[in-house]
Amino acid sequence: MNWVAIFNRLFEIINTQGDTYYGGTRFLNTIREVNYAVPNYQTYIDQRREQNKSTSRRDYYFDLFMEQPEQDRRQITDSILDTVGHLQPDKTESIRQLLGQAQQVQAHQVAIPQDLWNADRLTEYLEGMDNAITEGNYEYTLTLAYTCLEGFYKSFIREKIPAQIALTELTPMSVQIRNFIKVQLNANGIAYPEQVLTLISTVTNAVCNARNDFSDSHSGNRAEKWVAVYLRDNVNSIVKMLLNFI
């Protein structure tokens, strides 16, 4: 596996300003999805300075990426491509060809439960949040809660509401998903409590606000344990419910 070539092409995607851009904090948080021992952005940069290592983005992204076991590198690459790859389809396809996954590109578009978002994928995020809570890193829990919803919502919209694929903000995405489910239930004559669907956007707003106010990737304010636990449980409930509709 030519991981240098894979990284070079991946970096072209995440180094482009816009929705595909991965700043230092976002990239480190993606690495921490598979290796929680990786420190936060500022700590990592300080460590590199102490070791007289380059702090240019390309250099430390490459080092971080190549330090991970091959299986984790693949998972990191998949995580990035699953999140933003649809915005750079040609470059994404070239990377998947290097990974031996050229035939899976279409599958990601039409069979999300088998490829990207299923109970196992949700469990990975829940375990990450649980570990963060156990270690008292409640701010990172909020970052993971946001990332979990972001990845799932984008996948849901690509599969079920492709006309809204340009949406990038979590709250508008949640409204589109809520409305889509409402239309489906009404069309099939299925009764449901309105408040259940309203919770989709309510919980999303709560996650967005908490992430902006407290997460380690934003304000740096300290979060309380009860907030982290509450949002972790709500994200779990929302995603499990929505999995019934894809």
pLDDT digit string, tens, across residues 90-109: 888 889 888 875 334 333 33
Within-domain flag for 50: yes
Within-domain flag for 114: no
Q: Is the dihedral of CA 94, 95, 98, 102 positive or negative?
A: negative
Within-domain flag for 125: yes
Within-domain flag for 38: yes
Within-domain flag for 212: yes
What value does the mean pLDDT take over residues 139-151?
Answer: 89
Separation CA 22–CA 199 (nearest Å): 30
Final residue before a domain boundary, out of 109, 139, 171: 109
Same domain, yes or no, for 99 and 140?
no
230 exposure class (CB count in 10 Å sphere: 0-12, 13-18, 19+): middle
Separation CA 18–CA 82 (nearest Å): 16
Same domain, yes or no, for 21 and 128?
no
Same domain, yes or no, for 105 and 126?
no
What value does the mean pLDDT take over residues 147-163?
Answer: 90
Same domain, yes or no, for 97 and 125?
no
Tens-digit pLDDT profile for residues 185-214: 988 888 888 898 999 999 999 999 888 887
Same domain, yes or no, for 16 and 96?
yes
Within-domain flag for 187: yes
What value does the mean pLDDT take over residues 240-245?
Answer: 86
Same domain, yes or no, for 140 and 232?
yes
Mean pLDDT of the chain: 84
Q: Which two tokens mark 124?
A: 């990975």
Tens-digit pLDDT profile for residues 15-58: 988 888 999 989 998 898 888 788 888 889 999 999 999 999 99
Same domain, yes or no, for 22 and 127?
no
Same domain, yes or no, for 52 and 134?
no
Do 205 and 171 form a contact (C-beta atoms < 8 A)? yes
Separation CA 7–CA 77 (nearest Å): 8
144 has pLDDT over 50: yes
Same domain, yes or no, for 161 and 98?
no
Enumerate the H helices of the chain as residue ranges. Answer: 3-14, 24-32, 41-50, 57-67, 70-84, 89-98, 105-110, 112-115, 119-134, 138-160, 170-187, 194-214, 225-242
Final residue before a domain boundary, out of 65, 84, 109: 109
231 exposure class (CB count in 10 Å sphere: 0-12, 13-18, 19+): buried
Q: For residue 114, what pLDDT is reported?
A: 40
Final residue before a domain boundary, out of 109, 130, 159: 109
Same domain, yes or no, for 100 and 130?
no
Within-domain flag for 241: yes
Q: For residue 102, what pLDDT is reported?
A: 36
Domain that holds residue 68: 3-109
68 has pLDDT over 50: yes
What value does the mean pLDDT take over residues 164-180?
Answer: 91
Could you write out the three-class secondary structure of 107-147?
A: HHHHCHHHHCCCHHHHHHHHHHHHHHHHCCCHHHHHHHHHH
Separation CA 17–CA 31 (nearest Å): 20
Number of domains in the chain: 2
Within-domain flag for 186: yes
Same domain, yes or no, for 197 and 241?
yes
Same domain, yes or no, for 15 and 49?
yes
